[in-house]
Structure 1
Amino acid sequence: MQVARRLQQSIRLGHYQVNSRLPSERELADLLGVSRPTVREAIIVLELRGVVEMRHSTGVYVIATGPEATTPDLTDNVGPFEVTEARRLFEGETAALAAGTINEAELIELEGLLSQMADNGLDPTIRERADRDFHLTLARSTHNEAIVSVVQSLWDKRYSSPLCVYLFSLARQIGIQPPVEDHRRILAALRAHDPDGAREAMQVHLTRVTESLYRATEHDARERARLKMDERRHLFARRAGVAEPAE
């Protein structure tokens, strides 16, 4: 990711010293001329590289300069916030177009996929596949192969990008599932052949996905902080010869 490389280069040049706290996400977004989600992705990339550390309630701290960032690694790819932002822009207009072109057979297919997404008895992987198929079926209902290709590409990035896989996995671990009600509203607007309503419903849905990713990263930061605190507690208890209570 370009923003992660820029931040790491600033750290290597001494703009941000080891053990110092980085500016807030909002400040970095203004400084770098990007969105806050893009800054959040860059910070996660640098944390995975061991360059920074997210500390709950106190901010992000530089812990190392890291290796030379001249060659790409597994974290140099399009991230989930970028993918979701692109989907919000593109799939919103796709839904608006589909509202005028969708036929009854395609509406019935979307209803079947929605039923799978809502069935808590199904394996989560089946429900996630139904979520993906819902969006691809909606794209196909525009009867425009260029649109289908773009939507397909965005979904492919979600499953091929290591950073996307990592963050969506975190979201699943804390119980975040595809929001069924959002898809019901999208389907209702399509059935009503309401372009403005379909666009708005899709954009609201993908804004909610972005919010879910934020919650996943915040939960991850809290869990990392808790584990580090436990390690220090155990260390000092051993040094002091204190018997710790059984958990």
Structure 2
Amino acid sequence: MAEKSENSRLYERVARAISASIISGEYAVGQRLPSERDLALAHSVSRPTVREAIIALELDGLVEVRMGSGVYVIAATPNDGRAGETDIGPFELLEARRAIEGEICALAAARIEDETLVELRELVETMRGTDVDRAEEADRRFHETIARATQNSAMVASVEMLWNARARSPQYRLLSDKAHGAGIVPRQEDHMVIYEALATRDPDAARAAMRQHLSNVMEAILAATEVHEMEQARARIAAHRQRYAV
């Protein structure tokens, strides 16, 4: 079980526990770690939390993620002899955004002005068929513009804080690079649904659209960074062979 501490994040506790097992030799260099599912059960956490912990260990140079095979130990001690900087985990950040920005979007639907809707529509169009950096910038501006539409400075500050945390977090940056490498970019279609809900001034539809969008982001990132265990692949092949055996 991961050590509990009031001042640490859940994924950090899991990362420390796995790191301790690596340093002690329980998981030797070259060995594959238990599956994500088994680690989640062992530490009584969700699979996204395990994914965040693995990202932290990857940044520390302790493990290497090999898509289609698993997560392997590549060093017995972290880079520079100590664990590196950690910050808000990617999935806990998305969970917070889903809760907070959903309500912000609902309030914005009741207060948004026509000029702001024009700006949002232009940002949605910018996400279509453009490079990743421009799409990401348009994505951030889209969400911050919705916050400003509430005419509530505390909500604007909250959204800016969440996006600044995303930009600052080394864990989110690594996960984002992996997602981009797998072809995950801001979903123009999701943003259009949010825009249309705002344009009809429907708070319930706006809240639902924003929450669904951020759920879609989480699911897409999970799928793009999924590590398929070797045993699972072998089991599928064996089952396939048995099914078609003469």
Q: Please tell me whether the aligned partners of residues 60 and 83 of structure 2 are also in contact (alpha carbons under 8 angstroms).
A: no
Q: TM-score, normalised by structure 1?
A: 0.76
- In 1, the alpha carbon distance for the partners of 2:228 and 2:163 equals 24
Q: Please tell me whether the aligned partners of residues 105 and 207 of structure 2 are also in contact (alpha carbons under 8 angstroms).
A: yes
**Structure 1 partner of 2:57:** 46
Q: Deviations over 1:127-185 (max 9, x none)?
A: 22111100000011111111111111111122122222222122223322210110011
- In 2, the alpha carbon distance for the partners of 1:205 and 1:132 equals 14
Asked whether 1:80 is paired with 2:90, we answer: yes
- In 2, the alpha carbon distance for the partners of 1:31 and 1:70 equals 26
Tell me which moved more, 129-138 or 190-199. 190-199
Determine which of 30, 35, 43 is the counterpart of 1:24.
35
Determine which of 115, 128, 139 is the counterpart of 2:125.
115
1:125 deviates by: 2.0
Determine which of 97, 106, 112 is the counterpart of 1:102.
112
Q: Percent identity?
A: 48
The number of residues matched between the two structures is: 218
- In 1, the alpha carbon distance for the partners of 2:120 and 2:199 equals 10
1:21 deviates by: 4.5
What amino acid is aligned across from residue 211 of structure 1 in structure 2? E
**Structure 1 partner of 2:136:** 128
- In 1, the alpha carbon distance for the partners of 2:22 and 2:49 equals 18
**Structure 2 partner of 1:226:** none
Give the SS at the match of 2:127: helix
**Structure 2 partner of 1:154:** 162
Determine which of 16, 19, 29 is the counterpart of 1:8.
19
When residues 58 and 72 of structure 1 are mapped into structure 2, their CA distance, relative to the original with a 3 A threshold, is: closer
Gaps of 5+ in 1: 223-247
Across the aligned residues of Structure 1 and Structure 2, the Cα RMSD in angstroms comes to 2.9
When residues 103 and 209 of structure 1 are mapped into structure 2, their CA distance, relative to the original with a 3 A threshold, is: same
Tell me which moved more, 89-98 or 3-12. 3-12
When residues 4 and 170 of structure 1 are mapped into structure 2, their CA distance, relative to the original with a 3 A threshold, is: same
Give the SS at the match of 1:60: strand
**Structure 2 partner of 1:197:** 205
- In 1, the alpha carbon distance for the partners of 2:51 and 2:228 equals 13
Gaps of 5+ in 2: 1-11, 231-246
1:110 deviates by: 0.8
What amino acid is aligned across from residue 57 of structure 2 in structure 1? L
**Structure 2 partner of 1:212:** 220
Q: Please tell me whether the aligned partners of residues 103 and 141 of structure 1 are also in contact (alpha carbons under 8 angstroms).
A: yes
Q: TM-score, normalised by structure 2?
A: 0.76
- In 2, the alpha carbon distance for the partners of 1:112 and 1:218 equals 34
